[in-house]
Structure 1
């Protein structure tokens, strides 16, 4: 069990039998009473966000999450199809469950799946992934005069990212999955 002081951003807790991830926290010291913690929590199953206030004596249950390896098969509309690498069972996660990570997941790539009570909830990617540039305008030498040394490039996942002028179509680039920024050529 956790106390109010143990709650940090990205901690996964259980409320009413469902997993929630802590998105924001704000400690508030009351005049005569004890301190409270105002939090914004996101339900990992439904995607709903709620605000919850915890008092200093509240006990909070930490969610027990398991991690498994899976293979991303394909995207169909807003659904992403995966296959567990051990059991070979296929399952679907929605765009809401995956979030921004969907911009960096390519077909046939291995990912880490977070499970709560044997139910897949979310996808974890490594901090950096290598993706191929499928479309990019040519870099013009005169563009560097203003200090603007980047251009938009479309990756194999369909996501657009800013890259340096020397990057061309077909190049493999390394992207930071946390910030969404270009890191280097792979």
Structure 2
């Protein structure tokens, strides 16, 4: 979602909802995001009855091309136009970006790229973890595993190096084998 606050466009990355326990209490919405122009982090709290102005934007399917010193470059799959984002603007998404990742969308308003939207799950390969235990069950303990993008997740003990796994992009948690 993109909202407008004090004349600035803000891409919303996370919303936390706090419901009051009393009858007269208001629900609070804590919003975290990033300013589109200045790339500054944005945090604010809103009561349940407050209005915020949303910004109309377009979701364009894009392909991840490469990463360099300037940032990450994506190509629009329909118009072949290229969008470059600063690495700081995509700091949370970078750990999920891999080659041939399908389902990425660029959020574009008035021809200006605002951010990217990742698919709900991504398939990544385990590059480093403790050796697999043959007697480990699926509900047993977990161990840390480093994936090919640098992301570290907790995985079940039966997984070994070189295996592909599905990771939830919203929570950053292991879901299943790929």
**Is TM > 0.5 for Structure 1 vs Structure 2?**
yes
| Whole-angstrom CA distance in 2 between matches of 1:40 and 1:23 | 5
- Cα separation, 1, equivalents of 2:168 and 2:51: 36
- If the length of structure 1 is used for normalisation, what is the TM-score? 0.71
Q: 1:81 maps to what in 2? A: 73
User: SS of the counterpart of 1:98?
Assistant: coil
Question: Compared with structure 1, are the counterparts of its residues 38 and 157 closer, same or farther at alpha carbon in structure 2 (3 Å cutoff)?
Answer: closer
Partner secondary structure for residue 93 of structure 2? helix
Structure that is richer in helix per residue: 1
Q: 1:90 aligns with which of 82, 86, 93?
A: 82
RMSD value, Cα: 3.3
Query: What does the per-residue CA deviation read over 1:92-116, in whole Å, with 9 as the maximum and x for residues that have no partner?
Result: 1123322322111102323111112
3-state secondary structure, aligned to 1:99:
coil
Looking at CA atoms only, which structure, 1 or 2, has the larger radius of gyration?
1
Note the residue ranges of structure 1 that are not aligned, 5 or more in a row: 1-10, 28-34
Maintained 8 Å contact 1:139/1:151: no
- Which runs of 5 or more structure 2 residues have no equivalent in the other structure? 20-25
Q: Secondary structure at the match of 1:14?
A: strand
Counterparts of 1:104 and 1:162 in 2: how far apart (Å)?
A: 15
Aligned residue pairs total 167
Q: Match for 1:102 among 91, 94, 98?
A: 94
Matched residue, 1:164: 156
